[in-house]
Structure 1
């Protein structure tokens, strides 16, 4: 088995991660549910890639994500940092024996569990064994109705744990304690770097990571979800540097995540310089320790083409993170699926890949490019009609910001994952149908990649109860697009939608050039050039001018690598 260790760093990254693990938990539950759709019975997914087995002190078997999550102290809401599987009572008295004067204890009131979390505890007691028979006691006597739970989540999500249906290992949840500031103040690389400079925080986090890595048989890679809009990018970079030293041969796939609220422009030049330098330094540091970086997060998800079938509230991380988590779930499917039928076409292959395979496909071809663009279609259209493939490609829209559109790149390569799509007649499309449809679509496309790896699975994206109510009425129960939707709620959620067919694509393309050029420009204009207005600021973050120049040189190489090669003609004898 080739395991993946997941690391979530920062507020929005943990929101995305919470939805991501809800999808995994839902798949596990549906696989064991005798009344679930048969498509979830034969998933051909090895969940041990993402999960670990364990045992409590009471001998109870556990199955928890192989995860380290890092956030502010207090960001876990009503959930203990020790998780829910082990009993742990916090110390309330002083352990300092040399102090002889009086001691006063000030304890903040614990956050109360919301309706959803209370319902999870109720679920544990919903069945009773009587005379060797399992009696279900959850019917009409159930205290909390699903409708009430869904409504309460739409109105009241504050923490990422408020909608998490997963049990976490005691080593998984780490809070950065002792940072006496609000989230909005933790807004730049320098602050994040200072946060790890004091105490044993960096070593404590690294020790938790080692716990999960060292129990693995064969680690295939690290999956990082990082909120890189503020100080947590520095926390991630320091951890990545340690990983590069200890696990130098293990690939790292990093998703640089941003919520729409992080793009709010305060209109002050000083703030513009700070944010621009942060973006340049953050990307330079993170990319230097990763094999592949995927920027994810549009300035406005609600007005993007991705949201054609949604009603998203940009100001709600609960909403936006659900869409991005769906894409990350789909990307990760090939890392834990069995191989599909082979194909003779060398340019279009289908099946399982591991993290290193994806890295090699996207960054190890004719040019070196470690920044990929993420496109997604949610829901993916059914493969019906003569132009089904063209339609599917048209539904794929980027969630990577600052990219160029309609770029013809003869060196572009990509990996695509399609799962749960329907074929002609409403049946689950086969691997061959999907492959042939995509192949034909690219044969007739005006722009097509040099190479495309295609992975396909029958299992659609399951929609768990705490998924937000964001689907428009045109979306059907299984994610199909209805021509004549029946009258009903204007927005649908988990009570109306059971599953969604998905298509996602990672591509290495020169369309990422604006993203790279912007960061190179920020670095030079505000940090390196003579009289740069941010030179003193970035020096206060601990970077000297020669380090910034090294960052600039690395960014320049990335840009040059992706610049279209000039045509050179010569006469031959």
Structure 2
């Protein structure tokens, strides 16, 4: 088995992670449900969930199955959830009756946060299952206060504050790490300088590394790290320091890094000083993070609601609960090939194709002649049904970027792509076979003006399941199984898990010159605001702890990235 360890750093990264793990939990539940669609019941034939999950046992001998995950966030970011989770019920072993102070003292205690309707329903369901396992009749049907799904959906739609508010997953006690001692909110924790030295301060770095070591050392053959970081503020330097320690300790283990941002983090700065700070943060953040990974994928559009990616969606940008759902669906889709079982001689190639591990994707996208490690993420949610050769109605024509600041509709004959399609529907509403999906993609490329130098395609029949706590972000043209209608479904303009049960997905990682504007903007800002003589950001860089030599090294790193991709620079070099 080739295990994958997931790391989530920062608020928005954990919002995305909460949805991501809900998808996995839903898949596990559907696989064991005798009444579910066969496409979910048979998924174990070609997908190995042990790639993402670990088996364990509580002190009471109860078997557990929890994500192989390390989550890092503020102290107090877990809402009503304990940092040790609820599964193991671990508590402090220190005696409570020891007293070493005889003087007066005062106790200040805040009331624990109450569980919302969704979390209450999960607790009641677990208690019900426990009673049934002990042979006790529940009398649930006689309970007049039973929580209704509609009430849960409306509660989440209007009152999500923490990423744990909609999490349906049990976590291992080693998974949830809170950064103690940060007495500030997300508004204050908004620049690179404020997060420096936090990882190495006190024992934090060693504590975090030890937790990661717990998950890595029990792996038989780890294939890589799936690292998600909210890089819009002070969590970026924390993640960079952590990545540096990972690079030192796990030298040959590839890191696939997603740098994510909520729409709210792109708000226009209100002053020139804030604008300079934001621009310098972006340049520093990208430069340092990219130094410690094999492949970096920037994710997060300034206005997701009005983007092409939201063509069939109704997303409210001000709600991280909404935007993180789309990004989580895309990351789930990208990770499907990582847990596919490789085709063997007895395998049914009709059901799935294109298994690849993290290192395979890294070599495919970053190991080509350009050595481009910065990759664009495209998604189609939901993916359209398999049709003919018309580009605008095809899977390819509906893949739209989730990476900001890129050049669209750019022809790049040297582009390299890794595309994933799962749960695609045929023209008659049935799940399309591998050959149907492959033929459709090839037909579109044959009739397109340009095609990439290389495209790897992974296909599986299992669609994305929509769990109950998923937000109401689907438009009125989306059907119960992700079908796309020509006229709106009567009723609400937004539809959620009670209306849409699963959807087909298509995603693509793309190594292309289209990412040049993203890189050039950061290089130009670093030079103009921080390095050139009289640059307005010099004092800010100094206050953040950066010297001139460090900035010049970052400039050289970004400049090499641009030169590697920029055909104009290469032509100029050749002519010299």
Q: TM-score range by the shorter chain?
A: over 0.9
Give the structure 1 partner of residue 291 of structure 2: 288
Q: Residues 128 and 137 of structure 1 are in contact (CA less than 8 Å); yes or no, is this contact kept in structure 2? A: no
Query: Counterparts of 1:430 and 1:236 in 2: how far apart (Å)?
Result: 41
Query: Counterparts of 1:476 and 1:49 in 2: how far apart (Å)?
Result: 31
Give the structure 2 partner of residue 79 of structure 1: 81
Confirm whether residue 259 of structure 1 aligns to residue 256 of structure 2: no
Distance change >3 Å, CA 96–CA 188, structure 1 → 2: farther
TM-score of the aligned structures, taking structure 1 as reference length: 0.94
Give the structure 2 partner of residue 338 of structure 1: 341
Secondary structure at the residue paired with 1:24?
A: helix
Compare 7-16 and 184-193 and name the one that shifted more. 184-193
The structural deviation recorded for 1:299 is 0.2
Secondary structure at the residue paired with 1:255?
A: strand
The structural deviation recorded for 1:137 is 5.8
Q: Residues 171 and 208 of structure 1 are in contact (CA less than 8 Å); yes or no, is this contact kept in structure 2? A: yes
The structural deviation recorded for 1:533 is 1.2
Query: Counterparts of 2:118 and 2:18 in 1: how far apart (Å)?
Result: 14
Confirm whether residue 106 of structure 1 aligns to residue 114 of structure 2: no
Query: Counterparts of 2:378 and 2:315 in 1: how far apart (Å)?
Result: 18
Query: Counterparts of 2:508 and 2:162 in 1: how far apart (Å)?
Result: 30
Give the structure 2 partner of residue 461 of structure 1: 464
Query: Counterparts of 2:173 and 2:80 in 1: how far apart (Å)?
Result: 15
Query: Counterparts of 1:532 and 1:462 in 2: how far apart (Å)?
Result: 51
Query: Counterparts of 1:473 and 1:131 in 2: how far apart (Å)?
Result: 42
What do you get for the CA RMSD once the two structures are aligned?
2.4
| Counterpart pick for 1:49 among 24, 48, 51 | 51
Deviations 1:480-533 (A, max 9, x none): 011244422222100010000000000000000000011111111111111111
| Counterpart pick for 1:222 among 217, 221, 225 | 225
Give the structure 2 partner of residue 346 of structure 1: none
The structural deviation recorded for 1:470 is 1.3
Confirm whether residue 496 of structure 1 aligns to residue 487 of structure 2: no
The structural deviation recorded for 1:205 is 0.6
Query: Counterparts of 2:533 and 2:433 in 1: how far apart (Å)?
Result: 60
The structural deviation recorded for 1:567 is 6.0
Give the structure 2 partner of residue 122 of structure 1: 124
Distance change >3 Å, CA 118–CA 424, structure 1 → 2: same
Confirm whether residue 63 of structure 1 aligns to residue 54 of structure 2: no
Give the structure 2 partner of residue 297 of structure 1: 300
Deviations 1:6-37 (A, max 9, x none): 00000000000000000000000000011111
Q: Residues 350 and 453 of structure 1 are in contact (CA less than 8 Å); yes or no, is this contact kept in structure 2? A: no
Query: Counterparts of 2:342 and 2:51 in 1: how far apart (Å)?
Result: 15
The structural deviation recorded for 1:95 is 10
The structural deviation recorded for 1:386 is 4.5
Alignment of 1:189-204 (within 5 A): 189-204=192-207
Q: Residues 430 and 458 of structure 1 are in contact (CA less than 8 Å); yes or no, is this contact kept in structure 2? A: yes
Distance change >3 Å, CA 408–CA 386, structure 1 → 2: closer
| Counterpart pick for 1:433 among 411, 433, 436 | 436
Give the structure 1 partner of residue 8 of structure 2: 8
Distance change >3 Å, CA 477–CA 102, structure 1 → 2: same
Confirm whether residue 145 of structure 1 aligns to residue 138 of structure 2: no
Confirm whether residue 181 of structure 1 aligns to residue 190 of structure 2: no
Runs of 5+ unmatched residues, structure 2: 346-351
Give the structure 1 partner of residue 28 of structure 2: 28
Q: Residues 341 and 350 of structure 1 are in contact (CA less than 8 Å); yes or no, is this contact kept in structure 2? A: no
Confirm whether residue 274 of structure 1 aligns to residue 270 of structure 2: no
Query: Counterparts of 1:490 and 1:390 in 2: how far apart (Å)?
Result: 23
Q: Residues 31 and 42 of structure 2 are in contact (CA less than 8 Å); yes or no, is this contact kept in structure 1? A: yes
Give the structure 2 partner of residue 210 of structure 1: 213
Confirm whether residue 556 of structure 1 aligns to residue 570 of structure 2: no
Query: Counterparts of 2:420 and 2:501 in 1: how far apart (Å)?
Result: 20
The structural deviation recorded for 1:97 is 6.9
Q: Residues 375 and 398 of structure 1 are in contact (CA less than 8 Å); yes or no, is this contact kept in structure 2? A: yes
Distance change >3 Å, CA 371–CA 537, structure 1 → 2: same
Secondary structure at the residue paired with 2:64?
A: strand
Q: Number of aligned pairs?
A: 564
Query: Counterparts of 1:487 and 1:341 in 2: how far apart (Å)?
Result: 47
TM-score of the aligned structures, taking structure 2 as reference length: 0.94
Alignment of 1:90-101 (within 5 A): 101=103
Distance change >3 Å, CA 476–CA 174, structure 1 → 2: same
Runs of 5+ unmatched residues, structure 1: 343-348
